[in-house]
Amino acid sequence: MEEDASKVPVVSVIIPVLNGEEYLESIVGHVMSQTFDYWEIVIVVSSRCTDSTPDIARRLSDGDRVRVVDYVDTGALGGSKNAGLDESRGRYVWFLDVDDIPSSLYLSTLVEIAERESADVVGCNYLYSVERGPFEDPKGEFSVDVMDSREALRRRATERFPVASWSMIYRRSMVFDNGIRFEDGFSEDISFTVRSLMASGTVCYCHRPLYKYMRTPGSICQSSRDSRGRSEVDRYNHLEASLHPEDPDRDFLARRFTLTRMRSAGHMTFKGFLEYVYSDEYLEMVSRNRSPQVCFECACQYVVPYIYFGSIRLFFRIYYYNSGRYFTHLRRKLR
């Protein structure tokens, strides 16, 4: 029996949760307060929860628009998002972090862009923050960039298009048709987003900030430094290997992925950083994808490792993750 099309949600909001009792009810409330109403929520509850998250999730569930998926968690990130993806029914999917704060305009804005431009992926600007409080939508109209897959990949490789899955919606059919899945381990969004951009026809980026990314102390992204840094390196290793030899942007992307791996080592402890930089794997990567910038940064890592490592850590702390910073500078429409 076919499902009534009028009851099929436009967006499946997937919320993976591990010990999120403090934030779960709030994040579900943020979805319910969206100005766009054609959604479903899939709460993926980890079997490793040791708090009251499972009880709260079941209290919030109505079995239809808000559903709960019990996920047998082995501790490898990515699997919970895949579990939610498998249970989704919407035309688009949105992977929402339990401790963040989206704008009430998030879905209405991104879905309207996706429908208007027939886009497979639509990303948005966002705000880094340590202040928990309501999202304050900036006034005015903001520009929207419309691009093809090639331009989107070049922007992602140069940090001008976001990578975090909570900052965009993906066309569900594009994801399933191309067999795109989250990899296990830290930094699981990297491969998922880049492979989605590779498979997309049209990609859009909205300069309006629509999300507050909370720098929550003690969160999984703030710990396990060596594991996180190593995972980022592995993600870009896999992505470089997947580049087609005849892709006109192959060399450019490979060099950019190399720079990203070199800098991702800054997420590690200093010991982990040195072990990676002096490894045969690292030297082969640099030799394979050498460029003036790659060679310069390699020389800095070898000759003055303390200074390079300290500079990267300082950059992360003072600029990249600075509370109050937008992913891209606010760009409003010209009147």
Residue with tokens 């896999």: 238
pLDDT band at residue 65, thresholds of 50, 70 and 90? very high
**Looking at beta carbons, which pairs linking 219-228 to residues 24 or more positions away fall under 8 Å?**
219/99, 220/18, 220/77, 220/186, 221/186, 224/186, 225/267, 225/268, 225/269, 225/272, 226/268, 226/269, 226/272, 227/185, 227/186, 228/186, 228/187, 228/267, 228/268
CB 195 within 8 A of CB 210: no
pTM equals 0.93
The class that CATH gives domain 8-217 is alpha beta
Tokens for 152?
Answer: 């989107």
Residue with tokens 């019990």: 70
CB 163 within 8 A of CB 195: no
Cα distances (Å, whole numbers) of residue 298 to 224, 251, 302, 303:
25, 18, 6, 9
**What b/e sequence results for 271-296 when a residue is b if at least 16 CB atoms lie within 10 Å of its CB, and e otherwise?**
ebbbebbeeeebeebbeebebeebee
User: pLDDT value at position 32?
Assistant: 97
Q: Which amino acid makes up residue 236?
A: Y
Name, in order, each residue with C-beta under 8 angstroms of 271's C-beta and a sequence gap of 6 or more: none
pLDDT exceeds cutoff 50 at 2: no
Residue 275 half-sphere exposure toward CB, CA atoms < 13 A: 8
pLDDT band at residue 283, thresholds of 50, 70 and 90? very high
Mean pLDDT, range 287-311, rounded to an integer: 97
Secondary structure percentages of the chain, helix, strand, coil, to 5: 45, 20, 35
User: pLDDT value at position 215?
Assistant: 83
pLDDT band at residue 296, thresholds of 50, 70 and 90? very high
Residue with tokens 């990303």: 123
| Per-residue model confidence as pLDDT tens digits over 84-138 | 999 999 999 999 999 999 999 999 999 999 999 999 999 999 999 999 988 999 9
Domain residue ranges in the chain: 8-217, 224-303
